[in-house]
A and B are shown apart, each in its own frame.
Chain A
Amino acid sequence: MSEKRILIELRAPKHDAASRIAARYDNKPDALLEILHDLQHEVGYVPEAALPVLANALNLSRAEVHGVVTFYHDFRRKPAGRHVVKVCKAEACQSVAGNELVAAAEKSLNIKFGETTPNGAVTLEAVYCLGLCATAPAILVDERPVGRVSPEKFKAIAAELAS
């Protein structure tokens, strides 16, 4: 342990994307969710290094930014796969064999919800209602809605995304 230990980092931390996006919203603290969405869209997730940068830019504490990032299901702390598949687990989908779809999704991708396939192709996430309750069960593939998803249909979609 010969190197100096830094107790307090006084230099302004750097995370170019975070500070650029925050500036786009005039560094307004009420725009934090919008900023995080844009950041995740650009970088794929919300990197730890971005939190102090946003705190600085928006004049918030790191704890406040951390609190927001961890409160909302949407924000990811680590990179996702190339595709994100969200499967609805809510009641209307349950009423038309949604539970079977949920099981089939895990089986055909061979991962659990919240995980990414080892080849980095697909991240599987749960969602509670996509507003496609009359064409259920429904999923969202990246931002594309797909309705009446049978286990077979899911398998075909998964195969397509995995390749």
Chain B
Amino acid sequence: MIKVYVPKDSSARAMGADEIVDAINAEAAAQEIDIVIVRNGSRGLAWLEPLVEVETPKGRIAFGPVSAADVKSLFGSKFYESSSHPLSLGVTDELPFLKNQERLTFARCGITDPLSIADYTSHGGFAGLTKSLNMKGSDIVAEVTNSGLRGRGGAGFPTGIKWKTVHDAKASQKYVCCNADEGDSGSFADRMVMEGDPFMLIEGMTIAGIAVGASMGYIYIRSEYPDAISTMKDAIRIATTANWLGNNIQGSAHSFSLEVRRGAGAYICGEETSMLESLEGKRGMVRPKPPIPALQGLFGMPTIINNVLSFAAVPYVMAEGSEAYKNCGMGRSRGTLPFQLAGNIKQGGLVEKAFGITLRELVEDFGGGTATGRPVRAIQVGGPLGSYLPVSQLDLPMDYETFAANGAMVGHGGVVVFDDSVDMARQARFAMEFCSIESCGKCTPCRIGSTRGVETIDKIVADVERQKNLALLDDLCQTMTDGSLCAMGGLTPMPVQSALKHFPEDFNRPAKMFAAE
């Protein structure tokens, strides 16, 4: 029997993976070859998707990017026993893009069948939870604190401190909530975890539940991720049947249940308090802080809210020890970050590396430059609320503090590359426009400021009292930064002001009106 891997990750499906599965099955049946197809997660080499792999004694051999039309010739070259086909890439693990990574969180993704508990456990899964089941909650919290893990959603708040606050709170009920509302353009690592290694998220959340004494957890997944939603629901059902969730997990005294909740297309629900409102079935209006969610969160109870990648890092920390995790990284940014190379990039995909790697290494060495072959002009790091960086800042090391000191943010590790055809005034306008579309409306600087921002940028571009309007835009950005309730309004000025600072020439061209959108 020959084992062939065709990813079920939505990036592979988007490039025709389902059609390839049908074609392989049909051809195998016609030629009476015994082939079994595993729908794995993505290995993260998005430009090679669909990446088809064959299991051989030498290891897995990759072919890509494969289209359904290639299947006949793959069989013609006996791809299941020979790597002579022109699409052959050799042994997958030897591909430099993968070989040069430090995959702790993404160690299993793309290798296992995402919904096989046997695969998961045979690749180190549930080792961290098994250990945690016999530990005191405070010891788990101490281990996570010592690892130096900081919130991977973008804010970078120390995870252990958050957990300790919930641990120390006295309440009849506590909750663990996973923020899987990965709305930032250029980020897809959460999606890859949920589609490719869902038990890891379940394990991380269960450890959190045990650590703080919470028996119930929710995963809030954006509705734009239908595949992630269905995989997570299946994984929860399978884990519950296998008693890795539910009552008396693996015979212990600990119980923990999980439920998936769907978002409904509101970007703001990625903000933690807005997400809580949404989880309670309400409009996603931002709550003022304090009280902090760790003390009064979901339904007013102490609640851990972490990003998918934060929870996903925990099983490794618990299994291998906090020192192992802490040993990589730089400064106060410990461990690894799964970076996401996106946009106009030749070799896009997922690159997990220790903090400290430079933007240049990511974009040039891993990414291979732009997809269009034109020079890189701007890079937006950290999503729609992150700065646009010019090429002169390519040598910045990825580290929370270094980026902050340079008026930028690492955020969730999304890296979107633009070539020299980009119009930065248009990008700045879009940042304001996006904020006006997605603002929850609770606070004035965000709700009205974003609309005024669009108008003001239009005037600047149209050369209507340009200097006056530039001063006005600057003032508006200051008001939004200082006066907004949450990061949506507070950080929208980042892309706008970075575009103005690094690419002023785009705002000083002869008058031009934007085409109506």
How distant is the Cα of A92 from the Cα of B262 in the complex, in angstroms? 24
Q: What 1/0 flags go to B279-298 for Cβ under 8 Å of A? A: 11111100000000000000
A96/B14 contact (C-beta < 8 A), A32-B281, A134-B348 known: no
A72/B265 contact (C-beta < 8 A), A92-B185, A127-B224, A134-B11 known: yes
Which of B10, B13, B267, B416 is in CB contact (< 8 Å) with A92? B416
Which chain A residues lie closer than 8 Å to B416 at the CB level? 91-92, 95, 133
Q: State the A residues within 8 Å of B (CB).
A: 28-34, 36-37, 58, 64, 67-68, 71-75, 86, 88, 90-96, 102, 127-136, 138, 140, 143-148
Which chain B residues lie closer than 8 Å to A58 at the CB level? 281
A74/B264 contact (C-beta < 8 A), A37-B223, A68-B281, A133-B348 known: yes
User: Quick check: is B490 within 8 A (CB to CB) of the other chain?
Assistant: no
Q: What 1/0 flags go to B46-76 for Cβ under 8 Å of A? A: 1101000000000000000000000000000
How distant is the Cα of A130 from the Cα of B517 in the complex, in angstroms? 20
Which chain A residues lie closer than 8 Å to B281 at the CB level? 28-33, 58, 68
Which chain B residues lie closer than 8 Å to A91 at the CB level? 185-186, 343, 380, 384, 416, 427, 430
Q: How many residues of B contact A (CB 8 A)?
A: 63
User: Quick check: is B211 within 8 A (CB to CB) of the other chain?
Assistant: no
Which chain A residues lie closer than 8 Å to B343 at the CB level? 91-93, 95-96, 133, 136
Tell me if A131 and B283 are in contact (CB < 8 A).
no
Tell me if A34 and B183 are in contact (CB < 8 A).
no
User: Quick check: is B371 within 8 A (CB to CB) of the other chain?
Assistant: yes
Tell me if A90 and B185 are in contact (CB < 8 A).
yes
Which chain B residues lie closer than 8 Å to A67 at the CB level? 282-283
How distant is the Cα of A48 from the Cα of B186 in the complex, in angstroms? 37
How distant is the Cα of A100 from the Cα of B481 in the complex, in angstroms? 32
User: Quick check: is B349 within 8 A (CB to CB) of the other chain?
Assistant: yes
Which of A36, A131, A135 is in CB contact (< 8 Å) with B187? A131
User: Quick check: is B363 within 8 A (CB to CB) of the other chain?
Assistant: no
Q: State the B residues within 8 Å of A (CB).
A: 10-11, 13-15, 46-47, 49, 182-188, 190-191, 223-228, 261-267, 278-284, 299, 340-345, 348-349, 371-372, 380, 384, 414, 416-419, 422, 427, 430, 434, 437-438, 440, 517
Query: Besides A90-B185, A129-B185, 6 other CB < 8 A contacts?
Result: A34-B261, A34-B262, A90-B434, A92-B185, A95-B343, A130-B10
Tell me if B184 and A73 are in contact (CB < 8 A).
no
How distant is the Cα of A102 from the Cα of B516 in the complex, in angstroms? 12
Which chain B residues lie closer than 8 Å to A72 at the CB level? 263-266, 284
How distant is the Cα of A134 from the Cα of B40 in the complex, in angstroms? 18
Which chain A residues lie closer than 8 Å to B438 at the CB level? 128
Which of A28, A37, A95 is in CB contact (< 8 Å) with B418? A95
- Please give the distance in Å from A153's CB to the nearest CB on chain B: 12
Tell me if A129 and B278 are in contact (CB < 8 A).
no
Which chain B residues lie closer than 8 Å to A93 at the CB level? 185, 343
Which of B185, B278, B384, B418 has the most chain A CB within a 10 Å cutoff? Answer: B185
A145/B264 contact (C-beta < 8 A), A33-B278, A134-B340 known: no
Which of B225, B261, B341, B349 is in CB contact (< 8 Å) with A131? B225
Which of B223, B340, B384 is in CB contact (< 8 Å) with A74? B223
A132/B264 contact (C-beta < 8 A), A30-B281, A92-B342 known: no
Tell me if A143 and B278 are in contact (CB < 8 A).
no
6 tightest A-B contacts by CB? Answer: A134-B348, A134-B46, A147-B14, A90-B185, A133-B342, A72-B264
Which of A37, A102, A145 has the most chain B CB within a 10 Å cutoff? Answer: A145
- Please give the distance in Å from A139's CB to the nearest CB on chain B: 9
Tell me if A132 and B340 are in contact (CB < 8 A).
no
Which of B46, B417, B427 is in CB contact (< 8 Å) with A135? B46
How distant is the Cα of A158 from the Cα of B390 in the complex, in angstroms? 38
* 24 chain-A/chain-B pairs, Cβ below 8 angstroms: A30-B279, A33-B263, A33-B278, A37-B262, A72-B263, A72-B264, A88-B185, A90-B384, A94-B430, A95-B343, A96-B344, A128-B438, A129-B184, A129-B186, A130-B10, A131-B191, A134-B11, A134-B188, A134-B342, A134-B349, A135-B348, A145-B11, A147-B15, A148-B14
Which chain A residues lie closer than 8 Å to B191 at the CB level? 131
Which of A30, A131, A132 has the most chain B CB within a 10 Å cutoff? Answer: A131
How distant is the Cα of A135 from the Cα of B188 in the complex, in angstroms? 11
Which of B47, B190, B225, B266 is in CB contact (< 8 Å) with A134? B47
Tell me if B13 and A30 are in contact (CB < 8 A).
no
Which chain B residues lie closer than 8 Å to A145 at the CB level? 10-11, 13-14, 227
A95/B417 contact (C-beta < 8 A), A75-B264, A132-B14 known: yes
How distant is the Cα of A84 from the Cα of B430 in the complex, in angstroms? 24
Tell me if B183 and A128 are in contact (CB < 8 A).
yes
Which chain B residues lie closer than 8 Å to A29 at the CB level? 280-281
B194 (CB) vs chain A CBs: closest residue: A131
- Please give the distance in Å from B101's CB to the nearest CB on chain A: 15
A135/B265 contact (C-beta < 8 A), A29-B281, A130-B224, A143-B226 known: no
Which chain A residues lie closer than 8 Å to B372 at the CB level? 96
Tell me if A128 and B185 are in contact (CB < 8 A).
yes
Tell me if A134 and B345 are in contact (CB < 8 A).
yes
Which of B281, B348, B372, B427 has the most chain A CB within a 10 Å cutoff? Answer: B281
B341 (CB) vs chain A CBs: closest residue: A134
Which chain B residues lie closer than 8 Å to A146 at the CB level? 14
A127/B186 contact (C-beta < 8 A), A31-B281, A71-B284, A95-B344 known: no
- Please give the distance in Å from A80's CB to the nearest CB on chain B: 14
- Please give the distance in Å from A41's CB to the nearest CB on chain B: 11
- Please give the distance in Å from A156's CB to the nearest CB on chain B: 14
Which of A31, A133, A135 is in CB contact (< 8 Å) with B414? A133
A58 (CB) vs chain B CBs: closest residue: B281
How distant is the Cα of A151 from the Cα of B136 in the complex, in angstroms? 58
- Please give the distance in Å from B215's CB to the nearest CB on chain A: 17
Which of A74, A132, A148 has the most chain B CB within a 10 Å cutoff? Answer: A132
B227 (CB) vs chain A CBs: closest residue: A145
How distant is the Cα of A130 from the Cα of B340 in the complex, in angstroms? 14
- Please give the distance in Å from A108's CB to the nearest CB on chain B: 17
- Please give the distance in Å from A9's CB to the nearest CB on chain B: 24
- Please give the distance in Å from B20's CB to the nearest CB on chain A: 14
